[in-house]
Chain A
């Protein structure tokens, strides 16, 4: 058992060294729309689009329209990664995972915009085949024409350095995060018993191989540190039916409340700061939001952002 794991570690480390040459690609390959830390706006204020009272798909359409359409993020021929939260073996109405309607619709939009491929994965907490199937995401993505990728295949993770990380100096990161042209982070908003809440930043724990390292090192700092490696092209938060207690796994639909909201921003810190308010927290109380702002990953003061509040009611 131990020797096999060690073998894998050595193998992945060796692979990481070999792939150092490719590291430049992570940033070089990012599309123009995502190259800047925030979307260009008057006074260079970061933009947060908040939509409410529509279906998830309709709210996504509305948010994207406000940001210049899907074409502002996906160019024809590009490879797209969508990273939803697919952590738990639970049906969509439990709110434990991103809703399949949202993931399926985004997959469709990317392909319609000419994406070469759309891949979806998560390093799940529960058994992965069951989780992919029972979350409804596998069916939705396949129907839309995307690929579900095995997140439990150690050979798909490469060890990379995180030079700006405070506690997290290296991580084994899924190759799709390192190599995809476009990277959509599509979390669901939930209470979290350890991190207090989980939204955009916490969702990216699901692209690293060894989550226990985060927990063993400093959960809140490592969550923030990872964002210094690669920020998603766009973050889209499913806050339709957020889980407000017993998170992140939840026990029943009773743990969720109906908010019918969707947030979108290129700034993961800003989106999490607004999301904290939905759960009734001051953003600074959520430690990883505060730490990420200190690392200048994004803006935690919603008042200093351009917030576009849209309603479909």
Chain B
């Protein structure tokens, strides 16, 4: 079988993209440059639509993808979408394991299922559940969570097993890394999706993409009206079936010599497989008046039993259905882009209350889940984040962990700060650097360092200094803003003291606090982020001393 150049180009691009994104999600050592991870993720379709709403970079990628699909079909699904490429890899491995390349016969499109998922997606977005809907159905995010949550710890363990032999062989670059396992509740969805997608891909190729995936359905709708479409040249076709064997989408109907271009993922396997050069791109817009050979409606009702008039009717119905779906899709995008006010935001936040007060600062609402700097607040964040978990893979301290129910159902699998594991590094912005869609805005470092995620609350009754009458101050030691400092106490001891106005809720104090069973200082998350004050100090003066040396 000769390789068609289109197929070769697809292989190279898809391989590079899958390697780059898989690397970013597996990156347990922080080796992949943040801009590369960001760009590979930001060109994904749904994240780029979210980016249109948030104003993040590469916001126009989604429009480019739509235009490319209108020009020549769903190459996106074969070259850019990591979940699609992953399924191709699964099919390939499965064929190799079974030592045969199964011939997948043509199957009619599962039109109603496809439409139901697209409708559900649009309805979800329109109902104000964009964050939850997209986190469940965006194919890029589904892929990211599988690699980040399930594959990354396994790869870390493999790394750790190799450290000994590698170091013995003089390879210093290897070192052990503690594997990061997410909470079981946050891993349930990725685990189920991994089983489902692997199973479907091994069984019937791109069935998931042409049944469940709303991006596949939406792009399929566009592809069916593409300017250039793959078509079968009936004069060359010997009905040998080689193309059927090569097609992972089961969209070639040899009886009618038609390709359902709405389901074709433009992999060009059939183009390569056909020894007769019988499948080629044809410009399809010029003869739109007549019924093109390749046209198989998304609403698949035309059949041989229907007469001439009903054929016309079915085309009209199909056109109406397409238009309806298109309007729906546009409505979905519009709903996604519509500005949302969220909860009323107080302009100035008074800081007050007695020292040792509990709960959030006055004027704030507490949130059990603490969202990362750049999120601006829980409501905005949950609305925008598609739970791809790229930030969780990129976070060098692992303070970012996938949520289970800390944010409620809408926040399952989305990143939250877990101060029992680590704390947010003061000078680090890596989560926002990689975030593809602006769910996390990349703040200037100086702004990030005064962004208040919550407020540390100090319970002196639990504090080691008071309870055992010994020095400690681990909280103050770690505090980057000096919201916790110490005051003289007892017999030459130092007791922690809070300055609420300086606290940004980074969790360093809580992580460091040695008091058990519970820390004496804990952060209460705020539902809406705001700015803390910055401590202003003059240049320090040297202690008094006489002579060259003070001793």
> Which residues of A come within 8 Å of B, CB atoms?
1, 50, 52, 89-90, 125-127, 129-130, 134, 147, 150, 152-155, 192-196, 211-213, 215-221, 244-246, 248-249, 251-252, 254-259, 261, 273-274, 277-280, 285, 287, 302, 307, 309, 311
Contacts and interface: CB of A to CB of B under 8 A. Distances in A.
B540 A129 contact: no
Given A196-B494, A249-B478, A256-B540, A278 B473 contact: no
A192 B477 contact: yes
A279 B476 contact: no
Given A193-B494, A280-B545, A285-B492, A129 B464 contact: no
21 contacts: A52-B549, A89-B427, A90-B427, A126-B425, A127-B425, A127-B428, A147-B172, A194-B471, A194-B474, A194-B477, A195-B471, A211-B474, A216-B516, A246-B485, A251-B535, A251-B537, A254-B539, A255-B540, A257-B543, A273-B551, A280-B543
A257 B542 contact: yes
B548 interface: yes
Contacts of B542: 244, 257-259
A219 B471 contact: yes
B165 interface: no
Given A129-B30, A280-B544, A218 B470 contact: yes
A258 B541 CA distance: 9
A249 B480 contact: yes
Given A192-B477, A244-B540, A220 B397 contact: no
Contact of A130 (B396, B470, B479, B551): B396
Contact of B428 (A130, A150, A219, A259): A130
B426 interface: yes
A220 B486 CA distance: 16
Contacts of A256: 540
A205 to B, nearest CB: 11
Contact of A212 (B29, B470, B474, B492): B474
Contact of B468 (A218, A245, A259, A277): A218
Given A193-B476, A307-B551, A150 B538 contact: no
Determine chain A's interface SS by DSSP, over half rule: mixed
B515 interface: yes
Contact of B492 (A50, A221, A246, A287): A287
B514 interface: yes
A193 B30 CA distance: 32
B551 A244 contact: no
Given A255-B537, A257-B541, 13 more contacts: A50-B549, A52-B548, A130-B427, A192-B477, A193-B477, A194-B471, A194-B474, A194-B494, A212-B474, A245-B540, A254-B539, A287-B492, A311-B548
B10 interface: no
A217 B474 CA distance: 12
Contacts of A150: 175-176
Contacts of B514: 212-213, 215-216
Contact of B464 (A1, A125, A215): A215
A249 B543 CA distance: 19
B472 interface: yes
Contacts of B486: 193-194
B210 interface: no
For the complex of A and B, the 5 pairs showing the least CB-CB separation, nearest first, are: A194-B473, A280-B543, A216-B514, A215-B514, A257-B542
Interface of B: 29-30, 172, 175-176, 178, 396-397, 420, 422, 425-428, 464, 468, 470-474, 476-482, 485-486, 492, 494, 512, 514-516, 535, 537-545, 548-551
B481 to A, nearest CB: 7
Determine chain B's interface SS by DSSP, over half rule: loop
Given A127-B425, A251-B482, A280-B543, A287 B471 contact: yes
Nearest to B542: A257
A124 B471 CA distance: 21
Contacts of B420: 1
B511 to A, nearest CB: 10
A277 B30 CA distance: 42
Nearest to A254: B539
A198 B515 CA distance: 22
B135 to A, nearest CB: 25
A97 to B, nearest CB: 13
A196 B492 CA distance: 10
Given A127-B397, A279-B543, A302 B551 contact: yes
Contacts of A257: 540-543
B550 A278 contact: yes
B281 to A, nearest CB: 49
Contacts of A216: 464, 472, 514-516
Nearest to A305: B551
A168 to B, nearest CB: 13
Nearest to A125: B478
A254 B485 contact: no
B492 A278 contact: no
Contacts of A219: 470-473
B190 to A, nearest CB: 19
Nearest to A193: B476
Which has the most chain B C-beta neighbours within 10 Å: A1, A152, A193? A193
A307 B547 CA distance: 14
Contacts of A52: 548-549
Contact of A309 (B422, B482, B540, B548): B548
Contacts of A254: 537-540
B549 A309 contact: yes
B551 A194 contact: no
Which has the most chain B C-beta neighbours within 10 Å: A147, A249, A274? A249
B30 A220 contact: no
A193 B427 contact: no
Nearest to A198: B477
A134 B545 contact: no
Contacts of A309: 548-549
A134 B427 contact: yes
Contacts of A129: 29-30, 396
Nearest to B480: A249
A251 B29 CA distance: 27
Nearest to A87: B477
Contacts of A152: 178
A245 B543 CA distance: 11
Contacts of B476: 193-194
B478 A246 contact: no
Nearest to A281: B543
A255 B464 CA distance: 27
Contact of A215 (B472, B494, B537): B472
A31 to B, nearest CB: 26
B473 A251 contact: no
